[in-house]
Amino acid sequence: MTTILAIETSCDETSVAIVKNRQVLSNIVKSQINIHSFYGGVVPEIASRQHLEIINQAIAQAFTEIDLDWPDIDGIGATCAPGLVGALLVGITAAKTLAIVHQKPFVGVHHLEGHIYATYLSQPELRPPFLCLLVSGGHTSLIYVKDCGVYETLGQTKDDAAGEAFDKVARLLKLGYPGGPVIDKLAAEGNKWAFSLPEGKISLPEGGYHPYDCSFSGLKTAVLRLIQKLETEGHELLPESSIIRDIAASFQETVAKGLTKRAIACALDYGLKTIAIGGGVAANSGLRQNLSTAASKNNLQVLFPPLKLCTDNAAMIGCAAADHLSRGHISSLNLGASSRMAIKDVMELYSATR
C-alpha cells in the first residue's frame, strides 16, 4: 500500500489530501470562489497569494483528521501542469520542501490525469482500458485510458471548454460566477426545448464533421444573439424570469446532448465498454441524465465520481501519485510548473525510478 500526501493548487482551490492507494484518508479543500466571484472570474495573482496564505494550514489540517504522521507517508505528490503557473508553483514548492525535509520521494502529477483518477477513488475496482470524458472549466477532452501514464486524446474542444462556456453564458445572463451551478439550478425549472441552439460541430476538410471534436464559441455567440433578439422584442430578462430559465435549460441541454453524442460514439467505435466522467462539469445534472440514459441504451457503463471529487481536489492527485510511485515513477526536484502540457506527455514528468 502506498500512502501519499498530495497538494493541488492549479487554479483557485487550495487542497491537501492524504491518500492510501485508492482510499481517501483526508481531503481538505479551501475554495476561493467568494473572492474571485467579485471579479467575474479567477484573478491569477490573487489566487497565488491566497494559496500562500492557506497552504500551511491545509497541510496541518490534513493530518489532524487522521491518526497518521510523517513516518507513515511514502511520498509527496503535487499538481505541476497544466494550470496557472504562479498558483502551481505554490503547491510544487511546498511539496518539494516537504519531500526534502522528510526525505520522501517527490511525484509531480498532471492535473488532467488527476481528474481521471477521481473515478478510481469511487470505483476502486475500475481498470483500463476505458474512455474518459473530461469536462471542466479549462478542458474538454475524450481520452482513451490505456494504462497509468498511457493516454490518447481522441477528441477535444477546438475553442472554449465546456465549463468556460457555462461561465460565459452565465455572464451574458447576468447570473454571476461561477456559471455552472446557477445555470444547472435554473435549467431544472426551465423548458429545455424552448430555444434551438447550435450543437457546435467541427467540419472536416474532406467534408462531413469530426465525430469527437466539438466547439462551444458558436453556441455562446448564439446565446448572445438570442438575448439581443429577445431584448429588441421588449422582453425583460431578469434572473428570476421564466425566459432566463428557458435559455439556461436550452443551453444546458445543447451542451449535454453534444457531449453525450460524442462520448457514446467514441466508446462504441473503439470498443470500450466503460465511460468515466471527470472534471467540474461532471457534476452537471443535465450531462449526468443524458449520458446515463444513452449509455443504458447502448449497453455501456458510465461512471461519475461523487460531486465532491468532480471539482479540483488533492485526493485525485494523491491517487494518481500513489499509482505512479508504486510503479517506481519519481520526479526530479528540478521539475517546474507548466501552464500547458498534453496528457500524452505525462511520463515526461518522471525522470527517475526507484
List phi, psi (to 5°) of 130.
-160, 170
Q: Which helix (H) or strand (E) holds 48?
A: helix 44-64
Q: What is the pLDDT of residues 58-97, one digit of tens each?
A: 999 999 989 899 999 999 999 999 999 999 999 999 999 9
Q: Which helix (H) or strand (E) holds 69?
A: none
Please give the pLDDT value at position 354: 58
Q: What is the pLDDT of residues 266-309, one digit of tens each?
A: 999 999 999 999 999 999 999 999 999 999 999 999 999 999 99
pTM across the whole model = 0.94
Name the pLDDT band for 353 (thresholds 50, 70, 90): low
- Residues 254, 233: Cα–Cα separation, whole Å: 24
Please give the pLDDT value at position 352: 64
- Residues 215, 218: Cα–Cα separation, whole Å: 7
- Residues 115, 240: Cα–Cα separation, whole Å: 34
Q: Where are the domains of the chain?
A: 3-120+310-353, 128-307
Say which residue, 239 or 223, is predicted with more confidence.
223
Q: With 80 as the cut, is the pLDDT of residue 203 above it? A: no
Instruction: Tell me whether domains 3-120+310-353 and 128-307 share a fold.
Output: yes
Q: What is the pLDDT of residues 87-136, one digit of tens each?
A: 999 999 999 999 999 999 999 999 999 999 999 999 999 999 999 999 98
**C-alpha cell belonging to residue 268:** 462504441
Q: With 90 as the cut, is the pLDDT of residue 138 above it? A: no
**C-alpha cell belonging to residue 253:** 441541454
Q: What residues contact 240, with CB distance under 8 A and at least 6 apart?
A: none
Instruction: List own/partner pairs for 140-148 with CB under 8 A and 24 or more apart.
Output: 140/214, 140/216, 140/259, 140/281, 141/112, 141/343, 142/212, 142/262, 142/263, 142/266, 143/112, 143/116, 143/343, 144/270, 144/272, 145/116, 145/276, 148/323, 148/324, 148/327
Task: Name the percent of the chain lying above pLDDT 70.
Answer: 99
CATH architecture classification, 3-120+310-353:
2-Layer Sandwich (3.30)
List phi, psi (to 5°) of 71.
-60, -20
Dihedral in degrees, nearest 10, Cα atoms 228, 232, 233, 239: 50
Please give the pLDDT value at position 300: 98
Average pLDDT over the chain, rounded to an integer: 93
The C-alpha cell 457546435 sits at: 200
What CATH number should be reported for the domain whose range is 128-307? 3.30.420.40
Q: With 80 as the cut, is the pLDDT of residue 323 above it? A: yes
Name the pLDDT band for 235 (thresholds 50, 70, 90): confident
Altogether, the residues listed in the chain come to a count of 354
Query: Identity (one letter) of the amino acid at 181?
Result: P
Strand order of the β-sheet with 150-156 is 150-156, 140-147, 130-135, 274-278, 301-303
